[in-house]
Amino acid sequence: MAIANQIILVVDDDKDMLRAIEAILLRGGYSPIIALGPREALEKSRDFEGDIHLLLSDVTMPEMDGVTLAERVLAERPYIRVLLISGYATGRPRFPLLNKPLRMTQLLEQVSKAIDGPPPLPAHVYAAKHSTGASARAALTVELDEERRRYLESSQYQRARKKLDGHITAEHSRIEPEPGQ
């Protein structure tokens, strides 16, 4: 459900699509900032001083694809949510994806879901700031290490470790030494 003053940066290279999405978002109670292409979107994102709650971008655009745009915006606004739209999407995108053609209710539901959803994963933000493949792997490694650390500190792991240590000690005491030792 739209909350007044939720700002959405809408990016598409098709003027008609951009106007249609803007009209739908306005009817849904959102405040869209429209940008005709990625470069304009980056400028508007940098110029806007308040929070932008969602980047809603087409995937396929001539000067920069929507994923690259999302990474660049995330580098400057790490808590912005991202929702991509495409009529030609293939594969498994790193960000939520909505397929064209769009229905008004579908668009509004997905926008609300994206805004209310979790912030981007740290790996996406890190990868956006350091956009090489090696950096993305490093970001994922950092994220994985952090999850391992949390698990190792968790009480569930500690209980399992104590139980295992007790079992190993009990088994060790039942082993008889070899002759001559």
Position 149 confidence tier, pLDDT thresholds 50, 70, 90: low
Please tell me whether residues 158 and 114 are part of one structural domain.
Answer: no
CATH number of 72's domain: 3.40.50.2300
Of the two residues 86 and 167, the one the predictor is more confident about is 86
Residue 67 to residue 82: CA distance in whole angstroms: 9
Going by C-alpha positions, the residue among 18, 77, 14 that lies closest to residue 42 is 77
Position 152 confidence tier, pLDDT thresholds 50, 70, 90: low
pLDDT above 70 as % of the chain: 64
| Tokens 């951009």, residue located | 18
Task: Name the burial class of residue 172, with classes exposed (0-12), middle (13-18) and buried (19+) by CB atoms within 10 angstroms of its CB.
Answer: exposed
Of the two residues 137 and 32, the one the predictor is more confident about is 32
Dihedrals φ, ψ of 8, to 5°?
-125, 125
Please tell me whether residues 100 and 14 are part of one structural domain.
Answer: yes
| pLDDT tens readout for residues 49-63 | 999 999 999 998 988
Residue 23 to residue 1: CA distance in whole angstroms: 16
Least confident of 3-7, 77-81, 90-94, 162-166: 90-94
Please tell me whether residues 80 and 21 are part of one structural domain.
Answer: yes
The answer to whether the beta carbons of residues 95 and 69 sit under 8 Å apart is no
Please tell me whether residues 98 and 170 are part of one structural domain.
Answer: no
End-to-end CA distance of the chain: 75
Of the two residues 127 and 29, the one the predictor is more confident about is 29
What is the pLDDT at residue 63? 86
pLDDT at 112 over 90: yes
Helix (H) or strand (E) holding 99: strand 97-99
Helix (H) or strand (E) holding 9: strand 7-12
Q: Is residue 126 part of a domain?
A: no
Please tell me whether residues 112 and 140 are part of one structural domain.
Answer: no
Q: pTM above the 0.85 mark?
A: no
| pLDDT tens readout for residues 84-107 | 998 776 555 678 888 888 899 999
Angle at 103 between CA 53 and CA 82, to 5 degrees: 25
Please tell me whether residues 110 and 169 are part of one structural domain.
Answer: no
Mean pLDDT of 102-123: 85
Please tell me whether residues 14 and 87 are part of one structural domain.
Answer: yes
